[in-house]
């Protein structure tokens, strides 16, 4: 799929970093440890990819309908497997050099300054917005767990407090130094994602089809249907957002000319995508089959019985989102600490890490408490940020770096992905923004 450099016969260039630069790289989260195995890649990618989005897929189906819904979900799976493969290949495309971060690959493709401006704002928007959405998801799931267990016998507690409870865990976990230190948390999160997805479609299948189920589009007006369709596209885009951390995950895997990191990384990606399909497809199709257009934007909210199972599923969501938050926060921590240490000349150490990471967690908590529009957030961010970094930016970089022959299969494949990704980027945020505006009309701050 295109021409690529072959590092096997090349001698790695001499390491010309100064002692200070080496010390900083050994301290930064992404480059401090390169001891990961291929299965680290598998569960890190599952944790990054399968998140809150899987629970909104039946809702997205209700906005798209059977045919378009299945087509968009399947096509998204195929495109993102392809673009993820490209990123894994490009990680060591230049002999003797590793692009440990998304923006480093962007700088190689577009130039030092332009690459930063193209990649960093989009990557930050993806990762920070995901952390905010995960704050809301964690708080919502904790509240749902509380409400199901209490069954109306306890005092009602505001969503704000549940988001704060969820955030309190991250003030501690945010101090973990690097990706490899997250391995146990990420593995647990990956297991939880498969478990609650299975519970979601299993409990739905057991409950069966609702009486008089309606498979028409959710909205009753033409305008509503159009905006709903666009929002559904954004929801689908949100569900495939793991590309923003893939190079950073691959950076933790050891690499030699004989055993490049792309081989174990790709093995882990294949396993991850099989698990992702096992989570996404049944939840989306069975959830929509059972409830039609009346399904909520979180399938677990639609399900109320059996109570113990729904309570357990919501707690699994909490545990999974804890891992997902940390996986997406780690590259943000790396960017923050790189800026503070390399550009602003702060001394690397525990104090700097404690202050910067605590402030970041507090920021995502505050925004999540202020704007907990779950469904609208997925659609809006899904279109405006996730589509570029997942669907077409890797293709553009592949065309620039690998230069496949014009009108070859690789050339056509990349241009198709670019065109579809650009369309998604333009139209999907419109539906999500409309839903945020509609939610804001009836929302009271810090309720």
Cβ count near 71 (within 10 Å) = 12
Query: Mean pLDDT across the chain, nearest whole number?
Result: 84
Domain extents in the chain:
26-442
Question: Quick check: 340 and 356 in contact, CB under 8 A?
Answer: yes
Q: What is the pLDDT of residues 404-417, one digit of tens each?
A: 998 899 999 999 99
pTM (two decimals):
0.85
Question: Quick check: 41 and 327 in contact, CB under 8 A?
Answer: no
17 pLDDT band, cuts 50/70/90, is low
> What confidence score (pLDDT) does residue 273 get?
92
Highest mean pLDDT among 42-46, 105-109, 439-443: 105-109
Q: Which helix (H) or strand (E) holds 274?
A: helix 262-291
Cβ count near 193 (within 10 Å) = 27
CA atoms within 13 A on the CB side of 371: 17
Q: How far is CA 240 from CA 90, 276, 331, 387, in A?
A: 19, 9, 18, 9
CA 68 from chain centre, in angstroms, equals 23
Radius of gyration of the chain (CA): 22
> What confidence score (pLDDT) does residue 400 get?
93
> What's the CATH class of domain 26-442?
mainly alpha
Residue 30 has pLDDT above 60, yes or no: yes
DSSP 100-142: -SHHHHHHHHH-HHHHHHHHHHHHHHHHHHHHHHHHHHHHHHH
Task: Report the alpha-carbon distance of residue 258 to residue 432 in Å, rounded.
Answer: 47
Residue 155 has pLDDT above 90, yes or no: no
Q: What is the pLDDT of residues 232-284, one digit of tens each?
A: 777 776 677 778 888 999 999 998 888 889 999 999 999 999 999 988 999 99
Residue 431 has pLDDT above 70, yes or no: no
> What is the number of residues in the chain?
447
> What confidence score (pLDDT) does residue 374 get?
53
Question: Quick check: 234 and 431 in contact, CB under 8 A?
Answer: yes
Residue with more model confidence, 99 or 151? 99
Q: What is the pLDDT of residues 372-385, one digit of tens each?
A: 765 556 556 656 76
Considering only the C-alpha atoms of the chain, give the largest distance between any 2 of them, rounded to a whole number of Å.
70
Could you tell me how many helices (H) and strands (E) the chain has, helices first? 18, 0
CA 15 from chain centre, in angstroms, equals 34
Task: Report the alpha-carbon distance of residue 272 to residue 45 in Å, rounded.
Answer: 6
Q: What is the pLDDT of residues 55-114, one digit of tens each?
A: 788 888 888 888 888 998 888 899 999 999 999 999 988 887 889 999 999 999 999 999
Percent of the chain residues past pLDDT 70, beyond the cut: 88
């Amino acid at each position: 799929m295109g021409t690529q450099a072959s590092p096997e016969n090349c001698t790695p260039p001499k390491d010309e970093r100064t002692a200070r630069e080496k010390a900083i790289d050994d301290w930064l989260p992404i480059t401090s440890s390169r001891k990961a195995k291929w299965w680290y890649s598998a569960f890190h990618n599952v944790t990054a990819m399968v998140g809150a989005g899987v629970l909104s897929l039946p809702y997205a189906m209700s906005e798209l309908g059977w045919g378009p819904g299945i087509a968009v979900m399947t096509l998204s799976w195929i495109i993102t497997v392809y673009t993820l493969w490209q990123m894994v290949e490009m990680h060591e495309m230049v002999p003797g050099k590793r692009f440990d971060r998304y923006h480093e690959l962007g700088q190689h493709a577009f130039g030092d300054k332009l690459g930063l401006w193209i990649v960093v704002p989009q990557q930050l928007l993806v990762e920070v917005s995901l952390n905010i959405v995960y704050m809301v998801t964690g708080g919502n799931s904790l509240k749902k767990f509380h409400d199901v267990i209490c069954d109306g016998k306890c005092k009602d507690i505001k969503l704000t407090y549940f988001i704060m409870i969820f955030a309190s865990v991250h003030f501690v976990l945010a101090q973990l130094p690097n990706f490899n230190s997250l391995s146990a948390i990420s593995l647990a999160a990956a297991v939880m994602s498969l478990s609650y997805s299975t519970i979601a479609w299993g409990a739905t299948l057991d409950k069966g089809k609702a009486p008089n189920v309606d498979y028409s589009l959710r909205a009753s007006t033409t305008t509503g249907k159009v905006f709903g369709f666009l929002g559904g596209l954004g929801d689908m885009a949100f569900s495939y957002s793991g590309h923003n951390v893939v190079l950073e995950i691959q950076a933790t895997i050891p690499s030699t000319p004989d055993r490049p990191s792309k081989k174990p990384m790709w093995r882990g990606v294949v396993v991850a995508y099989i698990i992702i399909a096992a989570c996404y497809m049944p939840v989306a199709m069975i959830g929509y089959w059972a409830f039609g257009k009346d399904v909520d934007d979180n399938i677990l909210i639609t399900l109320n019985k059996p109570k113990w199972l729904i309570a357990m599923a919501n707690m699994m969501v909490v545990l999974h989102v804890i891992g997902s938050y940390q996986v997406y926060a780690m590259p943000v921590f790396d960017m923050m600490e790189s800026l503070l240490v390399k550009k602003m000349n702060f001394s690397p150490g525990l104090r700097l890490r404690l202050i910067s990471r605590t402030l970041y967690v507090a920021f995502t908590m505050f925004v999540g408490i202020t704007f907990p529009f779950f469904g609208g957030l997925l659609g809006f961010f899904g279109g405006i940020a996730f589509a570029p970094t997942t669907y077409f930016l890797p293709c553009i970089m592949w065309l620039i770096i690998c230069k496949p022959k014009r009108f070859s299969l690789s050339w056509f494949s990349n241009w198709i992905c670019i065109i579809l990704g650009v369309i998604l980027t333009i139209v999907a945020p419109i539906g999500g923004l409309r839903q945020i505006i509609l939610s804001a009309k009836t929302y009271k701050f810090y309720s």
